[in-house]
Amino acid sequence: MSCFFRGPRHARLTALAVVLSLLTAGFARAEDEPIELMVNDADVVASIQVGKFLKSAAFKKLQTENPDIAAGLDKPMGKKTKLTPRQIESVFVSGNTAKQQFVAVLTMTTKIDEEDLKGDDGAEGTIEKVGDYEIHVDKDGKAHTLIDDNTVAMGPLETLKAVLKRDDDAEVSEDLDAAWEDVDDTKHVYVIATLGALMKQAAAGLPPNFPLAPGTLQKLEVATLTANAGDDLAIDLAVDCADEATAQQVKSLIDVIVNAQAGNPNAPPGVQAAAGSLKTSIEETTLNISAKVGFDLIMMSIKQQMGAGAAPPPQP
């Protein structure tokens, strides 16, 4: 079985790495993820540490400057639930994009029960049982089940049933397993994707004369993204490529696009700022991309999408 789910994976580390790992919270928190609820053969895994972000200095500053955010944290996330954003400690998502299967697991800061998940619309769904679990299915076919007092799993009905019926660990590829071990899981967000199926889909939809050939896209193998809230939102993306030539080719295209947007007076301020901060580099066969985005620009974008009006762009 894959070492993705077992403590002995640390045995492959050097003695020094073991000592260092014990001094950091990263590995411990990764092991606390509800990975037993992953779909089989996932090619995308994401963790969002909501509670940690809400306690960060960056969010407290953002909340002070935008008082309406605090009120929104205590409002239900939709008509079909009483759960609020403030109740969420973390979100863990796994997906098999080729089979269109996914499971999202919400770990809450407080105890919840089925009444918290019903909302006020009065809609009644159906219930299916898998062992001791009750899967609730609404009229739109969306399903959820309470794993325990603090955890709820959501996803398509057949996917949830398959995961809950499984007696063993999920099947995980060696590439995803290795990337999981290496990810910096002290960040507020970390996402890992093995790109085989995703790049095949992308290659099939390329427009004519696209600068990258379909064969080049399919040489992109694994992507790891992390995001962390400090004074800005710092985003780091590492893409493992089949060879250095592929990494260089993709880097060159990104550099051209970024330079064009950074110098484009008609580009939205957020795009200009992000493009101006974006840096690319290559380490052997890995393409590294980093950028920083100011929270003022993020809030302006959110307000625009919500139709609340946008503040003028920040002055340089």
The reported pLDDT for the residue numbered 67 is 79
154 inside domain? no
The reported pLDDT for the residue numbered 309 is 42
pLDDT string in tens for the chain (316-residue length): 334 433 333 333 333 333 333 333 333 334 467 889 999 999 999 999 999 998 888 888 888 877 777 788 888 888 778 888 899 999 999 999 999 999 999 999 999 998 888 766 556 689 999 999 999 998 777 899 999 999 999 999 999 999 999 988 899 999 999 998 888 888 999 999 999 999 988 888 888 889 999 999 999 999 999 999 887 889 999 999 999 999 999 999 999 988 888 777 777 766 777 788 899 999 999 999 999 877 766 666 656 555 544 444 444 3
Contact 156, 101 (CB under 8 A): yes
Structure confidence by residue, pLDDT tens digits, 221-271: 999 999 998 878 899 999 999 999 999 999 999 999 888 887 777 777 667
- Beta pairing, strands 286-293 & 233-241: antiparallel
- Beta pairing, strands 142-148 & 133-137: antiparallel
157 inside domain? no
Instruction: Give the structural domain span for 64.
Output: 24-108+171-306
96 inside domain? yes
**Number of domains within the chain:** 1
The reported pLDDT for the residue numbered 302 is 57
- Structure-token pair, residue 122: 């009065």
- Structure-token pair, residue 303: 């307000």
266 inside domain? yes
**How far apart, in whole angstroms, are the C-alpha atoms of residue 184 and residue 21?**
12
* CA 309 from centroid of its chain's CA atoms: 28
**How far apart, in whole angstroms, are the C-alpha atoms of residue 314 and residue 122?**
45
The reported pLDDT for the residue numbered 256 is 92
The reported pLDDT for the residue numbered 22 is 31
Contact 281, 288 (CB under 8 A): yes
155 inside domain? no
85 inside domain? yes
132 inside domain? no
**How far apart, in whole angstroms, are the C-alpha atoms of residue 248 and residue 288?**
11
314 inside domain? no
The reported pLDDT for the residue numbered 297 is 65
**How far apart, in whole angstroms, are the C-alpha atoms of residue 244 and residue 292?**
26
Contact 127, 138 (CB under 8 A): no
